[in-house]
Structure 1
Amino acid sequence: MSESDVKVVLVPGAWADGSSWSKVITGLQSNGVSAVTVPVPLTTLDDDVAALDRTLERIDGPVVLVGHAYAGAVIGATRNPRIKALVYIAALSPAEGETVADVFYRNEPHPTAPKLGPDNHGLIWLPQEAFAAAFAQDASAQELAVLAAVQRPISPACISVPVGRPLWKDVPSWYLLAEQDHMIVAETQRFMAERMKARVSVHPVDHTPSVTAPGFVVDVILQAVREVRV
């Protein structure tokens, strides 16, 4: 099997859409690896896993599944047997019986982390100023404008439901630990990565390295792709 036979599926987290992976997609493509993103609705965790499963139905062959931030819970909750590796990009990885909120709020938040709460429709939006302060502080002004313009809100129902046995118990995992993350502090990331027994890559990057440091993200995904090659 060649690297090109392994497909990469990219799942955006809260407040992002598939465009947040654009630099990673082109970086993988230049290495002969194809990738698709998952249009998660961010309505409930079950809805998001169902959206992932529908995307996986359209793909043949072995899969390396990649999740950013909240999407770590999504990639851990699917059960598709063609998934051969999981890659967590500054992502949350609740254990069985935990919620996303349990791990997100495990440690004291960074001083610049935004205060989050639902609006009148029960949806959680990221405040405009939080993109530059916490979500992607290393991004250019142009990148920040796009991130803010395409942001998608998340429902509290996504983060308040205990998860079942996570897939990282059964397949190998990789973890990109973002040392300068102002949304999910590095201490929390390290705890989760070590609990998962993931292969950890540590970099001085912000919460959204797919935008601000895509080379590091591509590198860790390619490590997983090469490992699952038969």
Structure 2
Amino acid sequence: MTTHTATAVLVHGAWADEASWDKVVRLLHARGIKTVTPRLPLSSLADDTATLNRALEPIEGPIVLVGHAYAGAVIATVQSPKVKALVYVTALAPDQGETVADVFYRNEHDDKAPKLAPDADGWIWLPTEAFGIAFAQHATHAEQQALAAAQLPISPACITVAVEQPLWKSLPAWYLVAEHDHMIPEKTQRFMAERMHAHISAYPMDHLPSVTAPERVEAIIVEAIEHSKA
């Protein structure tokens, strides 16, 4: 087993928690790659950035940041010099002056995409049935049930604030495009990946490949670590 000096920090998006990375973590550990899986509060982009910054502080050595979905915006807001590369897993990558909502709604969603709106307390939840239709349709029924039970809602404050200059403008980026994604259209993913000049891989996966295609996620993280000489 080769021991890598880089730490892969795996950041969950909306409606999933850090356990959604478990399969990828096991694969990376088998390669000798250290991992950290922080939990975001999903209360605002500023809160999530602060949480991620705190998680990065004690890590020694280089870091490769990996973000799923909404977390693509979060990983691009940190400024730690330890970060050497960014990996986007079906993730959102707003440019300076854009919000997460701007890129999320850039292209029309298909008829399997869920309708999203805040509840009476101001949180956006994913409808339970959406886990099997749009979010992780390639997962087992048991996995879909577990995801729905553990889902973390997101605040509109996460997706309606314009970002500052994103880190992908100064660091190498990798992007895993999910061709069967009903949450973020493939066309939108490719637009963002091409705009950031990312190293692009594309497969017929759903929105949560960390659960349904973990080997694909592992491979792109390893590629980012090796090519960035982290």
TM-score (norm 2): 0.98
1:148-183: CA deviations, max 9, x gaps?
111000000000000000000000000000000000
Alpha-carbon distance in 2 for matches of 1:82, 1:170 = 13
1:106-164: CA deviations, max 9, x gaps?
00012100000000100000000000010000000111111011100000000000000
Cα RMSD of the aligned pairs, angstroms, is 0.9
Cα pair 1:3 1:229 within 8 Å, conserved: no
Q: Which residue of 1 aligns with 2:205?
A: 205
2:124 aligned with 1:128, yes or no?
no
Q: Which residue of 1 aligns with 2:33?
A: 33
Please tell me the residue identity of whatever aligns with 1:208. L
Alpha-carbon distance in 2 for matches of 1:7, 1:196 = 23
Q: Which residue of 2 aligns with 1:224?
A: 224
Cα pair 1:7 1:35 within 8 Å, conserved: yes
2:42 aligned with 1:45, yes or no?
no
1:84-111: CA deviations, max 9, x gaps?
0000000000000000000000000121
Cα pair 1:3 1:225 within 8 Å, conserved: no
User: Map of 1:115-194 to 2, 5 A cutoff?
Assistant: 115-194=115-194
Cα pair 2:134 2:182 within 8 Å, conserved: yes
Cα pair 1:3 1:226 within 8 Å, conserved: no
Q: Which residue of 1 aligns with 2:18?
A: 18
Cα pair 2:172 2:228 within 8 Å, conserved: no
Shift of 1:3: 5.2
Alpha-carbon distance in 2 for matches of 1:204, 1:78 = 31
Shift of 1:227: 1.4
Cα pair 1:178 1:205 within 8 Å, conserved: yes
Percentage of matched positions with identical amino acids: 58
Please tell me the residue identity of whatever aligns with 2:133. A
Alpha-carbon distance in 2 for matches of 1:141, 1:19 = 17
Q: Which residue of 1 aligns with 2:98?
A: 98
Alpha-carbon distance in 1 for matches of 2:111, 2:198 = 28
1:40-67: CA deviations, max 9, x gaps?
1000000000000000012110000000
Cα pair 1:139 1:212 within 8 Å, conserved: yes
Structure 2 spans left out of the alignment, 5+ residues: none
Alpha-carbon distance in 2 for matches of 1:135, 1:34 = 27
Structure 1 spans left out of the alignment, 5+ residues: none
Alpha-carbon distance in 1 for matches of 2:160, 2:45 = 9
Alpha-carbon distance in 1 for matches of 2:65, 2:5 = 14
Please tell me the residue identity of whatever aligns with 1:36. V
Shift of 1:229: 2.2
2:67 aligned with 1:61, yes or no?
no
Cα pair 1:177 1:201 within 8 Å, conserved: yes
Find the residue that maps to 1:115 and give its secondary structure: coil
Find the residue that maps to 1:4 and give its secondary structure: coil
Identify if the C-alpha distance between structure 1 residues 45 and 22 changes in structure 2 by more than 3 Å, giving closer, same or farther: same
Find the residue that maps to 1:5 and give its secondary structure: coil
Please tell me the residue identity of whatever aligns with 1:46. A
User: Map of 1:105-120 to 2, 5 A cutoff?
Assistant: 105-120=105-120
Find the residue that maps to 2:175 and give its secondary structure: strand
Shift of 1:228: 2.3
